[in-house]
Structure 1
Amino acid sequence: MTTPELDTLLATSEARSPHRCCFLLHVRPERLADYVEAHQHVWEEMREALREAGWHNYSLFLRAEDGMVVGYFEADDVDAAQRAIAEAAISPRWEAAMGEYFAPGGGEKQILPAYFHLA
């Protein structure tokens, strides 16, 4: 739970950037191996759509104990890049394929605010 003071600190932090995005997802524990395996074979069409949408330096990290996935990517404009991938023709197919792996509500990206950055 946040407080107004914390919300203000996060919203005004100099570490905020329109170029970096970190997010959380939650995978069903019994599907972790399948989820990781699926990401060893990301469709080339999906990879290309991400590039065309402006995503780069994209990484996923997994905490296997509870299925928490941390995603990170960079873009010239993170908001525009997220809109572009959401509108890409391949996205509904990819989302449908990945949907089976997520815990209830866990497939919705929870964007994390930045509050420190060392370049």
Structure 2
Amino acid sequence: MRVALHTRVRPDRIADYDAAHQQVPQELAAAIRDSGVHEWTIWRSGSDLFHLIDVDDYAAMLDRLSALPVNIAWQARMAELLEVSHDYTADGSEAVLPVVWRLPDQP
């Protein structure tokens, strides 16, 4: 499943947010992969962040990561930097960025 998310970094913390993502703990990256994530890309436009996640089961991934100390620490760090931490449901059913159009495969 693909999940598209929108978050927002505090305008005065953009450099800190970018720097944090140059140092994502390897333990966290491994836990994310082990939770069924195949790819996670974040783009930034000003203070707006756009995430595209290719994951087996988004709700299961959130549940699996929720109790891990490395993720709890990371989420606390992000809470200091983000103005809008997320605008999606825990089960992934409401991605803020719904698909409007996709280039179709060749006929």
Matched ranges for 1:81-100 at <5 A: 81-100=61-80
Question: Could you tell me how far apart the structure 2 residues matched to 1:86 and 1:58 are?
Answer: 17
User: Structure 1 length as normaliser, TM-score?
Assistant: 0.72
Higher strand share: 2
Question: Could you tell me how far apart the structure 2 residues matched to 1:84 and 1:115 are?
Answer: 30
Report the structure number with the largest CA radius of gyration: 1
User: Structure 2 length as normaliser, TM-score?
Assistant: 0.79
Identity %: 27
Secondary structure at the counterpart of residue 81 of structure 2? coil
Matched ranges for 1:9-20 at <5 A: 19-20=1-2
Tell me the equivalent position of 2:91. none
How many residues were matched structurally? 97
Call closer, same or farther: CA 1:109–1:91 in 2, change over 3 Å: farther
Tell me the equivalent position of 2:27. 45
Question: Could you tell me how far apart the structure 2 residues matched to 1:76 and 1:21 are?
Answer: 10
Tell me the equivalent position of 2:13. 31
Structure 1 residue runs without a partner (length 5+): 1-18
Secondary structure at the counterpart of residue 100 of structure 1? helix
Structure 2 residue runs without a partner (length 5+): 89-94
Call closer, same or farther: CA 1:89–1:116 in 2, change over 3 Å: farther
What is the alpha-carbon root mean square deviation over aligned residues?
A: 1.7
